[in-house]
Amino acid sequence: MTERTDFLDHPRPLAFAHRGGPAHFPENSWRAFEHAVKLGYAYLETDAHATADGVLVAFHDKTLDRVTDRTGAVAKLPAREVAAARIGGTEPIPLLDDLLGAWPDVRFNIDVKDGPAARPLADLIRRAAAWDRVCITSFSAARLRATRRLLDRAVCMATSPVGAAALRSGFPGKWLAPTFASRSVRCAQLPISMAVSPLIGRAHAAGLQVHVWTVNDRDLMTSLLDLGVDGIMTDKTELLRDVLIERGEWHPRGSATPAA
């Protein structure tokens, strides 16, 4: 038995390897994730699609066409055909089950990309007892709601687009806090364009951490950290690590005392 943790209890700012870090290796590939883990990343960001036979893969697009040497919709292909595809012509598509098992101390921010992924993701979290190691996000409130309803226990959830719009609308954060808490929403994960001081303040007042994506510029990383964001997602994992080291804010996996 491992000691129970909270997904967000790592010392801030949190560093997320977006799709593993495609500035260095192909996106959502084993090589990208391994590289980020070797750098010391405690948080990996990835995506979830289910194959036609219900196998959960770490893959961003609905189809294989853009980044692999094969074509077709993931949800319409059996797992054996998806397994034959190669990212960039060389890298196999990882199974989410294998990723969770490979690094038991690493936490995964998982974007539910399609409705059919909700049930196998809930089953995986239950089977792996990964309740405290995952945060679920999606551009679809319906997918977030479906995943939450399929789980036996609360897990960390990010705001839906509706929740992000509520923060952007100017409602005081303390008014929104009870709704977010009732839905296990613990963080607002926002694009760079929304990461402005008033919205960050409202999110904090609502009891949420603020994580910004996808930040690949040194000066922008610095300005966002100065604004008080709680986490940054980046393709350039080496750059973000270096920026945080320079600021005395790099907390690699396994080396820091959890935040109070």
Domain boundaries of the chain, sorted by first residue: 15-152+221-246
Judged against a pLDDT cut of 90, whether residue 5 lies above it is answered with no
Q: Write down the catalytic residue from 10, 35, 60, 251.
A: 60
Average pLDDT of the segment spanning 240-246? 98
pLDDT of residue 255: 67
The average pLDDT across 31-42 equals 98
Our answer to whether residue 60 is catalytic in this structure is: yes
DSSP-assigned letter for residue 76:
G
Rounded to an integer, what distance in angstroms lies between the CA atom of residue 220 and that of residue 192? 9
pTM given for the model = 0.95
Among 18, 49, 211, 251, the active-site one is 18
pLDDT of residue 39: 98
Burial of residue 72 (CB within 10 Å: 0-12, 13-18, 19+) is middle
Known active-site residue 211 = no
| Domain 15-152+221-246 in CATH 3.20.20.190 | yes
Those residues whose C-beta lies under 8 Å from the C-beta of residue 98, and which sit 6 or more positions away, are none
Hey, how many other C-beta atoms are within 10 angstroms of the C-beta on 132? 17
Helix axes 161-169, 173-182, angle to 10 degrees: 170
How long a stretch of residues is the chain? 260
The mean pLDDT of 62-85, rounded to a whole number, is 98
Please state the separation of Cα 186 from the chain's center in Å: 13
Q: Is the pLDDT at 165 greater than 90, yes or no?
A: yes
pLDDT at residue 102 is higher than 60: yes
pLDDT of residue 254: 83
Instruction: Examine the pLDDT at 1 and tell me if it is beyond 60.
Output: no
Tokens of 54: 């219900």
Average pLDDT over residues 147-152: 95
Asked if 135 and 110 touch (Cβ cutoff 8 Å), the reply is yes
Nearest to 225 by CA among 208, 200, 193, 206: 200
Residue 111 has pLDDT above 70, yes or no: yes
Is-contact 148 184, C-beta < 8 A? yes
